[in-house]
Structure 1
Amino acid sequence: MKYYIGIDGGGTKTEFLLADENNKILSRTLRGSASYMQIGEDGLIMLLEEGIESLVKPLQTEAEAEFYTCFGMPLYGEHRDRDRKIIKTMDEKLGQYRIKAVNDVEAGWAGSLTMEPGINIVAGTGSIAFGKNQSGESAKAGGWSEFFSDEGSCYWLGRKAMECFSKEADGRFRKGALYEIMKEKFQLENDYDLIGILEQDYIPYRDRVASLQICLKDAAMEGDMEAVRLYEHAAHELMLIVKSVHEKLKMGKGCKVSYSGGLFRTEDLILKPFARFLKPLDVTLVAPKQTPAEGALLLAKYYENR
């Protein structure tokens, strides 16, 4: 009997799925961040060991059972030496599961478009796009360092939320809903108290900075125009990432563009301006068909004999 494991690693959470050879999902589990920048290389291996064990432990598999796994790994392809080291350790400790590592955006593409030609943009903790054309050629854009990139992501918007609060507190921007939301969230008696709180409890942690995007969303929903403009800015940045992949692959008119990642849970707040900015590219924006974890399952089968 063959079994397939799909792992969608993210900067905030990681989803594990187990399916049989008939595509029936048998079990799933959630864990925390799979970014080795946050949890370290040893932490990443431990995450994989614990996640996979929780999937397969309830199974009473036969001795000859075969496992094929695809791990959508954050940061994969960005640090080749570290990639080789991590893959070597995965093979040593988890070799029986035949883990194929890909960048997590490829799992997002596979799920969103069920392996069909097109482009997927991920906007979660970070931002990156991946596409494949009719000829099977692939390309990506975005996914650079959070220090100078990750435009349009939740992390990027979290940093912008901090900036926007400071400007509203100063009067450089008109005070809007974000100012009150942040004051209440952090129980601020003095606006400048926020500096110490953020420097100690947020700025060192990428996922916590990304979580501040929720404050921005709530402010935008309450009509804070500076917050609304930041979602417009994010949508434009995401369009530029898609445009880069579109041009690299010479996709032409009608190319399907889909999306995944936590930012898109804001729905129309990001999707409406994103669709508007995509119009000049003459592409077709489509809702994702499957999740990135389900996409990783599709890739586990795809890479089985490759």
Structure 2
Amino acid sequence: MAYYLGVDGGGSKTYALVADERGNVVGKGASGNGNHQLGAERAKRHLFEAVEAALAEAGVTAGEIERACFGLAGADREADFRVLRPMIAELGIARSDIVCDTMIGLRAGTSRPCGVVLICGSGTNAAGRNASGETFQCGGFEYEYGDFGGGRDLAVEAYRAVIRAWEGREEPTLLTGMLLELLGYGTVNEMFHDFLDHGRTVPLDAVKLLFRASLLGDETARAILRRQGEELGKSARAVIRRLGMEEETFDVVLVGSVLTRGEGTFVTGPIEEAVRGIAPFASIVKLGIEPVVGAVWTACEAGGESLPDELEARLRRISDFRLIGHSGPVSG
């Protein structure tokens, strides 16, 4: 029996799956942040924890894995791979591939040979592959390199909006009461000084407040989410143009909890508008399964296997990693 390992290492969580050649999931593991750019040793610890848990549940050793695919946030440049290759090699898996997490999200979200993927979880990224197999990544390097958004930025935007409203620079917002309740403060003044005095950071859970306030009609929250959608739409258009995909039929796969779990169309609406304006044959698809399944498929295909349709369908039933008892904030 051949076994395949797929790993999805993101900015807030890491998932690992072991599947056999028949498409049965035999082992699962979960841990925290797997992005080495946020701390290499911590990411390594979390990657190893998730993989070791999945191997243990499967009852196999690393040496018994036929092929593995690690889809990792932060696997962007050769400088990143110089860190990641020796790290992953320590697991003792004979044949493994390391790709950016965009690629496993794209593989999990579409059966077409080409497509575009937009990720908005704790951070943002965009990438695509055209019919000729050419790929292009747009973004993924945070604000100073042209990005905007993702859970980390959106949480800060929610906090800033409350501060600006409190000072009178902006109109009052429903985010104020929601954020105070979330963080356990009685007043904005108390929160403001406590954050300054103790160097506190805004938790990713604050992103949920943007969606909640938007559904209640809060224009401040809606404007923040709208900007996120517009920025992702710009990234999609850049990928489509660079790869010459304007007249192709393909899926734009939306990945990450801000895009797949957030309520309403405050983020997805501007994305659809941007894509429709440049690629009329493209379809917007929300990823309905965990990207880690795409890593398992990629590992199988790299090993020369092609899963039959019924076995692919079996893997698609892993639609929510909380099936193994792991849950988290809107930040993935």
Q: Same fold per TM (> 0.5)?
A: yes
Question: Which range is displaced more, 169-178 or 131-140?
Answer: 169-178
Q: For the residues of structure 2 that align with 1:113 and 1:182, how far apart are their CA atoms?
A: 37
Please state whether the residue corresponding to 2:188 is helix, strand or coil.
Answer: coil
CA apart distance, 1:202: 4.4
Is 2:208 aligned against 1:211? no
> Partner of 1:274 in structure 2?
271
Question: Which range is displaced more, 46-55 or 182-191?
Answer: 182-191
CA apart distance, 1:177: 0.8
Please state whether the residue corresponding to 1:266 is helix, strand or coil.
Answer: coil
Q: Report the aligned-residue RMSD.
A: 2.4
Q: For the residues of structure 1 that align with 2:29 and 2:140, how far apart are their CA atoms?
A: 26
Question: Which range is displaced more, 66-75 or 242-251?
Answer: 66-75
Q: Could you tell me which amino acid in structure 1 is paired with residue 290 of structure 2? A: T
1:1-306, aligned counterparts within 5 Å? 1-38=1-38, 40-61=39-60, 65-78=64-77, 80-91=78-89, 93-96=90-93, 98-114=95-111, 116-147=113-144, 149-198=146-195, 200=198, 202-203=200-201, 209-253=203-247, 254-264=249-259, 265-268=261-264, 269-281=266-278, 282=280, 283-288=282-287, 290-304=289-303
- Which string of whole-angstrom CA distances, capped at 9 and with x for unpartnered residues, describes residues 196-237 of structure 1? 44454643xxxx543321122222122111101111111100
List runs of 5+ in structure 2 lacking aligned partners: 305-332
Please state whether the residue corresponding to 2:286 is helix, strand or coil.
Answer: coil
CA apart distance, 1:6: 0.9
Q: For the residues of structure 2 that align with 1:89 and 1:276, how far apart are their CA atoms?
A: 41
Q: For the residues of structure 2 that align with 1:74 and 1:44, how far apart are their CA atoms?
A: 10
Q: For the residues of structure 2 that align with 1:237 and 1:57, how far apart are their CA atoms?
A: 42
Q: Percent identity?
A: 23
Flag the 1:42–1:185 CA change in 2: closer, same or farther, 3 A.
Answer: closer
CA apart distance, 1:289: 5.3
CA apart distance, 1:106: 1.0
Q: For the residues of structure 2 that align with 1:99 and 1:10, how far apart are their CA atoms?
A: 18
Please state whether the residue corresponding to 1:96 is helix, strand or coil.
Answer: coil
List runs of 5+ in structure 1 lacking aligned partners: none
Please state whether the residue corresponding to 1:210 is helix, strand or coil.
Answer: coil
Q: For the residues of structure 2 that align with 1:255 and 1:66, how far apart are their CA atoms?
A: 33
Q: For the residues of structure 1 that align with 2:59 and 2:183, how far apart are their CA atoms?
A: 49
Is residue 72–residue 100 contact of structure 2 (8 Å, CA) maintained in 1? yes
- Which string of whole-angstrom CA distances, capped at 9 and with x for unpartnered residues, describes residues 139-186 of structure 1? 110101345544132222112112211121122222121111112223
Is residue 28–residue 57 contact of structure 2 (8 Å, CA) maintained in 1? no
Q: For the residues of structure 2 that align with 1:62 and 1:226, how far apart are their CA atoms?
A: 52
Q: For the residues of structure 2 that align with 1:36 and 1:202, how far apart are their CA atoms?
A: 22
CA apart distance, 1:291: 2.5
Q: Could you tell me which amino acid in structure 1 is paired with residue 159 of structure 2? A: M
Question: Which range is displaced more, 157-166 or 143-152?
Answer: 143-152
Q: For the residues of structure 2 that align with 1:258 and 1:242, how far apart are their CA atoms?
A: 10
Q: For the residues of structure 1 that align with 2:171 and 2:236, how far apart are their CA atoms?
A: 33
Flag the 1:60–1:162 CA change in 2: closer, same or farther, 3 A.
Answer: closer
Flag the 1:162–1:82 CA change in 2: closer, same or farther, 3 A.
Answer: same
Q: Could you tell me which amino acid in structure 2 is paired with residue 260 of structure 1? A: V
Is residue 143–residue 150 contact of structure 1 (8 Å, CA) maintained in 2? yes
Q: Could you tell me which amino acid in structure 1 is paired with residue 251 of structure 2? A: K
Q: Could you tell me which amino acid in structure 2 is paired with residue 41 of structure 1? A: A
- Alignment length (residue pairs): 299
Q: Could you tell me which amino acid in structure 2 is paired with residue 217 of structure 1? A: F
With normalisation by structure 2, the TM-score equals 0.82
With normalisation by structure 1, the TM-score equals 0.88
Q: For the residues of structure 2 that align with 1:210 and 1:63, how far apart are their CA atoms?
A: 34
CA apart distance, 1:61: 4.4
